[in-house]
């Protein structure tokens, strides 16, 4: 059985949704895909639940299937369905091993030191409030990304830090060569770094995450020859890709302190 560290944060988030299953759908599988009365989901349903890109979810499903935490199968249309052009439908569902693995994780989460896993709703509010305090407004795609991070044990301030980094990088990319906008982004970034240092000193951000994020923020906002290389490095994260696109980057937040027009 895989360990927690062998699964990415997206893998765990997808597994949680698949284990919950569809409340009203029960499929009976026979033959090679034997799973009687499974509560199955489609990729699009998982995408709606998590707000991740289709490509990211498919990659997670492939990994989870390979370690036998979930299974997949196709439902062929009826004869009439085939005659009318109805396509076959691909479903995924949790295996018994997947359910047991998640139960073990939940048992650990119920221990006092890990009780924060039960407070996702409050922690999402904390992320939004912290971003607002630092001059950013979280977007719907940012909520999905934040939830994925919380599922994997990141602290609210750490997710806020990552969202800010990605937002600054996308803003620099969209600003192109407009020096006035780039200077405003630089000023905002410096203010953010000072705030993140305070959060680090108070234990809200772990040292390694603080070091990585602030180093990347400096690379993104500093107007020099390597700036765009830093931007592309940050924006290459698969979590930021929308609908399986390798080029389109989701906007997960926006700045309230400078204009990009």
- The pLDDT averaged over each successive group of 10 residues in the chain (261 residues) is 62 87 66 58 85 87 89 63 61 86 66 53 90 93 87 91 96 92 94 96 95 96 94 89 64 81 51
- The alpha helices in the chain, defined as continuous H runs, are 9-20, 43-50, 54-66, 79-83, 96-109, 120-133, 140-151, 156-175, 179-201, 207-221, 227-235
pLDDT at 27: 62
Tell me, yes or no, whether 114 lies in a domain. Answer: no
Provide the 3-class DSSP secondary structure of residue 197: helix
Q: Which domain holds residue 87?
A: 4-109
Q: Does residue 10 sit in the same domain as residue 88? A: yes
Q: What angle do CA 125, 6, 115 make, to 5 degrees?
A: 35
Q: Which of 182, 175, 130, 180 has its CA nearest to residue 156?
A: 130
Check: CB of residue 162 under 8 Å from CB of residue 240: no
CA-CA distance, 8 to 44, in Å (whole number)? Answer: 20
Provide the 3-class DSSP secondary structure of residue 137: strand
pLDDT at 98: 86
Provide the 3-class DSSP secondary structure of residue 222: coil
pLDDT at 126: 92
pLDDT at 240: 85
Q: Does residue 105 sit in the same domain as residue 227? A: no
Q: Does residue 183 sit in the same domain as residue 134? A: yes
pLDDT at 87: 60
Q: Does residue 156 sit in the same domain as residue 98? A: no
CATH code of 81's domain: 1.10.10.10
Tell me, yes or no, whether 161 lies in a domain. Answer: yes
Q: Which of 166, 134, 163 has its CA nearest to residue 258?
A: 134
Tell me, yes or no, whether 69 lies in a domain. Answer: yes
CA-CA distance, 207 to 56, in Å (whole number)? Answer: 28
Q: Which of 216, 186, 242, 237 has its CA nearest to residue 53?
A: 242
Q: Does residue 84 sit in the same domain as residue 158? A: no
The DSSP code sequence of 65-112 is HHTTSEEEEEEPPPHHHHHTTPPPEEEEEE-HHHHHHHHHHHHHHTSG
Burial of 103 (0-12, 13-18, 19+ CB in 10 A): exposed
Tell me, yes or no, whether 260 lies in a domain. Answer: no
pLDDT at 75: 62
How many folded domains does the chain comprise? 2
Q: Does residue 104 sit in the same domain as residue 175? A: no
Domain-ending residue, one of 109, 132, 149: 109
Q: Does pTM top 0.75 for this prediction?
A: no
């Amino acid at each position: 059985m895989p360990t927690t560290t062998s699964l990415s944060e997206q893998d765990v988030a997808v597994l949680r949704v698949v284990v919950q299953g569809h409340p009203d759908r029960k499929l009976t599988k026979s033959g090679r895909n034997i799973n009687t009365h499974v509560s199955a989901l489609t990729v699009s349903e998982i995408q709606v639940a998590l707000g991740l890109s289709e490509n990211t979810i498919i990659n997670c499903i492939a990994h989870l299937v390979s370690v036998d935490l979930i299974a997949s199968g196709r439902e062929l249309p009826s004869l009439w369905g085939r005659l009318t052009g109805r396509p076959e439908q691909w479903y995924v569902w949790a295996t018994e091993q997947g359910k047991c693995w998640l139960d073990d994780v939940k048992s650990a989460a119920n221990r006092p030191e890990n009780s924060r896993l039960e407070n996702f709703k409050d922690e999402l509010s904390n992320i939004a409030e912290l971003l607002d305090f630092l001059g950013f407004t979280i977007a719907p795609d940012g909520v999905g990304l934040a939830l994925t991070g919380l599922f994997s044990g990141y602290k609210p301030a750490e997710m806020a830090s990552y969202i800010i980094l990605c937002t600054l990088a996308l803003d620099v990319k969209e600003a192109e060569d407009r020096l006035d906008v780039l200077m405003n982004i630089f000023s905002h970034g410096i203010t953010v770094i000072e705030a993140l240092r305070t959060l680090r000193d108070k234990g809200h951000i772990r040292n390694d995450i603080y070091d990585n994020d602030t180093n990347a923020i400096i690379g993104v906002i500093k107007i020099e020859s390597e700036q765009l290389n830093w931007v592309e490095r940050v924006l290459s994260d698969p979590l930021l890709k929308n609908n399986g696109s390798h080029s389109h980057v989701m906007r997960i937040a926006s700045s309230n302190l400078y204009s990009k027009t």
